[in-house]
A and B are shown apart, each in its own frame.
Chain A
Amino acid sequence: METKIRIEDLRLSFGKADVLKGVNIDVYKNKITGFMGPAGSGKSTLISIINRMIDFEEGSRITGKVFIDDENILGDEIDEVHLRRRVGTVFAVPIPLPRSIYDNVAYGPKLRNRNQRRELRPFVVESLKKAFLWDEVKDRLNSSALKLSGGQQQRLCLARTLALEPEIILLDEPCSGLDPISTAKIEEALDKLKKDYTIILVSNNTKQIARITDYAAFFYMGALIEYGTTEKLFTNPSEKKTEDYIQGKFG
């Protein structure tokens, strides 16, 4: 099993508040890894470090190392614009850009292809297909993305991220506002995608973690409590806290 992301002693604080208290974890390539934990456990903050979106939060102090393919992405020489092409993000709330469906998906590739005029259309189509949205929008690619339903918008956001051709996809509670059918479509898409990508899924929904992840990590108060195969965590957890959380005793 190949390690894609290695996190070593990662600490993050906002002023006096310690949000992450020394996290060590290896995320494996071509697997879906679930990060779960109650609100304030630091799981969303953790993934926002992996793509350096944390840079836009003022006042954070980070120590430790995050390696992607043996390269420390917290180093000074990292080009974070390039990094965000390798590490795509889908946010909890779908936020389409105010433009057409096509232009939403083409946004990232167009930025990258500033000079070479590559034919983008097949690429946009492919991304929409991978996100299981193509059949629903193929007749109206030029209509506004804001007219799509919430579930469709979230799949559009997934397609938009896939169009970056990332190696890693981070999903921050992508189904929290979606109905069960939309959720099922996203999960189906993720299951197909994992053979080409390394996926981290942050979710409050333990059932979803159990359904679709290969590995699962349980965070509590900024610390990693337990990490292992999803099967192990859900059938025979080593930690009492993990068991309590999974059984819904707190969280």
Chain B
Amino acid sequence: MRINPRLIDRLVRIGLNSQAFFTVAILVAIVAIICVKGAPHLNLEFIFSSPQDMGRHGGIFATIVGTVFLVILSLLLATPLGVGTAIFLTEYTKESWFTKTIRFGVESLAGIPSILYGLFGFIFFVIKLGMGWSLMAGVFTVTIMILPTIIRTSEEAIKAVPRNLRIVSYSLSATKWETVTKVVLPSAGPGILTGIMLSVGRAVGETAAVIFTMGSSLRLPTSLMDSGRTMAVHFYILAREGISMEKAYATALVLVLSILCINIIAYSIMNRVTSKYS
């Protein structure tokens, strides 16, 4: 029997469409549940007041502060380190056993469960270096955890910049560093940003590695040596210990909304920057 190729085409299209729809539907369902369960308990007071009675009452201000500091400080460390490593691997070395080893290491690190990073951070930063449960130990641990993602995505983004653009830049009397900063990085920008945003998501949502290193104190962290709690950890503890499901969902809603905001802001900044280069 001969199958009509147009029929196949149509079936494939229907199949792919429904797969895409299914994916989006799951996402919408999750967000919808969080909204429905969390929204009634979300108000300004919840955001700006401190938790009381283990989080049973009051708000989540201390955990918002903890999250913001953890994410921003980790990114400030991991971004230059990761992008720098990617530039080194792509522009400043030739393919050799050395780069292959680094790349293999990075890829392996990216696949390690976060609890292992937590254990390492606990043993090394918290105990060996004597930092105790602190924002600093958390920042270092999360930095190490997100580094592989930033390196890999940056490397792919940099590799995707056409070689011709580099050649043109050199022919116009640019040095290597000028070519990297003026031609390569602007073109690779959106790809690098994607890696950074993935890392933000990972850092914001991380629980295991954070509990082990930053602890879970509900007090407002005021120095790098203070223990603290992130929103994700707060959510986990509230839900797991059965302290308050209402507060847990409201926390989750704040978490989801802030990730959404960060994404929107980051990409609109990126659009403004890249429009100059297109």
Please report A residues at the B interface, Cβ cutoff 8 Å.
51, 53, 56, 58, 81-82, 84-85, 88-89, 91, 93, 95, 97-100, 107-108, 111-112, 144, 146, 160-161, 164
Contact = CB atoms under 8 A, between A and B. Distances in A.
Interface residues of B, number: 20
Given A107-B172, A108-B173, A111-B178, 6 more contacts: A53-B167, A56-B167, A84-B172, A98-B165, A99-B278, A107-B182
Q: Which 6 A-B pairs have the closest CB atoms?
A: A108-B172, A84-B173, A85-B173, A89-B171, A95-B164, A98-B277
Interface in B147-203: 164-165, 167-175, 178, 182-183, 186-187
B276 interface: yes
B114 to A, nearest CB: 37
Contacts of B183: 97
A160 B278 CA distance: 17
A228 B277 CA distance: 45
A112 B175 CA distance: 11
Interface string B127-160: 0000000000000000000000000000000000
Most buried by B among A93, A99, A164: A99
Contacts of A112: 173
B278 A146 contact: yes
A82 B174 CA distance: 9
Contacts of A53: 167, 170-171
A190 B168 CA distance: 20
Given A97-B183, A144-B278, A146-B278, A111 B174 contact: yes
Contacts of B164: 93, 95
A227 B123 CA distance: 76
Nearest to B164: A95
B51 to A, nearest CB: 49
Interface of B: 94, 164-165, 167-175, 178, 182-183, 186-187, 276-278
A98 B161 CA distance: 11
B167 to A, nearest CB: 6
A30 B178 CA distance: 32
A51 B171 CA distance: 8
Contact of A91 (B94, B168, B173, B186): B168
Nearest to B183: A97
A81 B173 contact: yes
B178 to A, nearest CB: 6
Given A53-B167, A91-B168, A98 B278 contact: yes
B252 to A, nearest CB: 41
A81 B175 contact: yes
B169 A97 contact: yes
Contacts of A100: 276
B170 A97 contact: no
A111 B172 CA distance: 9
Contacts of A99: 276-278
A97 B173 CA distance: 14
Nearest to A107: B172
Nearest to A147: B278
Contacts of B182: 107
Contacts of A111: 172-174, 178
Contacts of B170: 53, 56, 84
Nearest to A51: B171
Most buried by A among B173, B175, B187, B278: B173
A154 to B, nearest CB: 13
Contacts of A51: 171
A164 B165 contact: no
Given A98-B187, A146-B278, A82 B173 contact: yes
A243 to B, nearest CB: 35
Given A97-B183, A99-B276, A160 B173 contact: no
24 contacts: A51-B171, A56-B170, A58-B94, A84-B173, A89-B171, A91-B167, A95-B164, A95-B165, A97-B165, A97-B169, A98-B186, A98-B187, A99-B276, A99-B277, A100-B276, A107-B172, A107-B174, A107-B182, A108-B172, A111-B172, A111-B174, A144-B278, A160-B172, A161-B172
B168 A95 contact: yes
A91 B166 CA distance: 13
Contacts of A95: 164-165, 167-168
